[in-house]
Amino acid sequence: MLLTITTTHQPATELGYLLHKHPDKCQSFPLSFGQAHIFYPEADTEKCTAALLLDVDPVKLVRGRSISLQQYVNDRPYVASSFLSVAIAQVLSTALGGRCKERPELVQTPIPLIAKLSVLPCRGGEAFLKQLFEPLGYCVNSQGYILDEKFPEWGQSQYHTVELENTVTLSDLLSHLYVLIPVLDDDKHYWVGDEEVEKLLRHGEGWLADHPAREQIARRYLKRRPQLTRIALAQLAEADEPDPDSAQESHSKEEAAVEKPLSLNKQRLNAVVATLKETNAKRVVDLGCGEGNLLKALLKDSFFEQVTGVDVSYRSLEVAQQRLDRLHLPRNQWQRLQLFQGALTYQDKRLKGYDAAAVIEVIEHLDLPRIAAFERVVFEFAQPMTVIVTTPNIEYNIKFENLPAGKLRHKDHRFEWTRKEFQTWGETVAQRFGYTVTFTSVGQEDPEVGSATQMGIFHRRQIEN
């Protein structure tokens, strides 16, 4: 995969300063998915071209995953995709950020630039390619290819060789490529998380809010995840606000609304990880692991020797697997992880032998009559030394402004408990199955209603001789 950037701004070799890469050198950079090479096929005062050659290693892409042939044999090594964006962000980060100590003025100056992409998948065709780049002032030249010359009836492929010409700052050009290449490629085979919203807004700053195709851009960039797309579009709409003060105010509000649940989630994770460490739990099973929030935190910490995720939802496990793949752990580290599908209301041998079980925001998803089965599965059959259970504290719900009175926090919650109800349940369970239990809370504590999350920490009683 090859991207070249050419300028005729004179002296053209100044491009080397803007890119922070010397025109006389050929440099290589290792990336998690392959190698990036930067070199200059031509560099004189009239015209200078820098080339970014991306050598995507299909074997690295699938390392640590169960592999299908399709994952080995695909177009990823040959086409411009989100890997190119990652390479731009890593190898040309200073240029992308618009910083250049040696040429502080040039970095701000629009200069004539031509970017050429050897192969760009354009899902949505040439028309969509133009819809993306022309409003930003680019002159777009593209050459399409038929799928197979032997079978002309198969028609055109989605692949194009594309030339984009504009007078812009180098940092703007790189930002446009960073965002719009994955949008055109529209590959859905990887997970996007909240951090992608932040990247989209950061690299779209100054141009995305006014772009006529901003909705399609946000939707495709965020892999059609409606929740994330809504957040991004809401924040972009704020960027349109004429009054800077009111924009600032609503921006912080929006941020608070978005960050609040995130920070509660983070606090909960931190509390669970800290408790697991305090109890020296090295082998941990996450029961109802969902999309792998806790698994991710545990895998990143070498304290934990075995990390297992169990969920009844296959889809959640798939998402968890994709997110964990993106940690790019060394090969030997993957042995620490195991994911399997299972229901917490049926006895399961695979749940035995762990130092600790985490049951984070799960019990409220079980039908009340099934709680007794869950209790036996965890405390009687699996019997880990430690069990950490968290669940919402319903008393705190009046503190959530956007939660109508009497409503539970999530539509799949079958119940939510007061602190008294949770503690009574916990004490009864501990008593019945030979555990001790203590209770703590997570989140800001209110004197009247307590905090948002309640946590029960169960320890198995040692049998005394």
Chain residues in the site for ligand SAH (CB under 6 A): 288-290, 293, 311-313, 316, 343-345, 360-362, 365-366
Identity of the residue, 3 or 362, whose beta carbon is nearer to ligand SAH in the bound complex: 362
Minimum gap (Å) between residue 311 Cβ and ligand SAH: 5
Minimum gap (Å) between residue 65 Cβ and ligand SAH: 21
Minimum gap (Å) between residue 316 Cβ and ligand SAH: 4
- The answer to whether 454 and 390 are in contact (CB under 8 A) is yes
Rounded distance, CA 212 to CA 216, Å? 9
Identity of the residue, 361 or 375, whose beta carbon is nearer to ligand SAH in the bound complex: 361
The backbone torsions φ and ψ at residue 330, rounded to the nearest 5 degrees and listed phi first, read -60, 150
Rounded distance, CA 360 to CA 377, Å? 16
Identity of the residue, 225 or 365, whose beta carbon is nearer to ligand SAH in the bound complex: 365
Identity of the residue, 204 or 290, whose beta carbon is nearer to ligand SAH in the bound complex: 290
Identity of the residue, 173 or 294, whose beta carbon is nearer to ligand SAH in the bound complex: 294
Minimum gap (Å) between residue 310 Cβ and ligand SAH: 6
Minimum gap (Å) between residue 390 Cβ and ligand SAH: 8
The backbone torsions φ and ψ at residue 112, rounded to the nearest 5 degrees and listed phi first, read -65, 125
Identity of the residue, 25 or 352, whose beta carbon is nearer to ligand SAH in the bound complex: 352
Which residue's CB atom is positioned nearest to ligand SAH?
Answer: 290
Sign of the dihedral defined by the CA atoms of residues 342, 346, 349, 354, in that order: positive
Q: What is the CA radius of gyration of the chain?
A: 27
Minimum gap (Å) between residue 419 Cβ and ligand SAH: 20
Minimum gap (Å) between residue 9 Cβ and ligand SAH: 51
Identity of the residue, 185 or 311, whose beta carbon is nearer to ligand SAH in the bound complex: 311
The backbone torsions φ and ψ at residue 402, rounded to the nearest 5 degrees and listed phi first, read -90, 15
Minimum gap (Å) between residue 445 Cβ and ligand SAH: 21
Whether residue 447 is preceded by a cis peptide bond, meaning omega within 30 degrees of 0, is no
Minimum gap (Å) between residue 361 Cβ and ligand SAH: 4
Minimum gap (Å) between residue 354 Cβ and ligand SAH: 15
- The answer to whether 199 and 179 are in contact (CB under 8 A) is no
Identity of the residue, 56 or 295, whose beta carbon is nearer to ligand SAH in the bound complex: 295
Identity of the residue, 166 or 316, whose beta carbon is nearer to ligand SAH in the bound complex: 316
Identity of the residue, 46 or 318, whose beta carbon is nearer to ligand SAH in the bound complex: 318
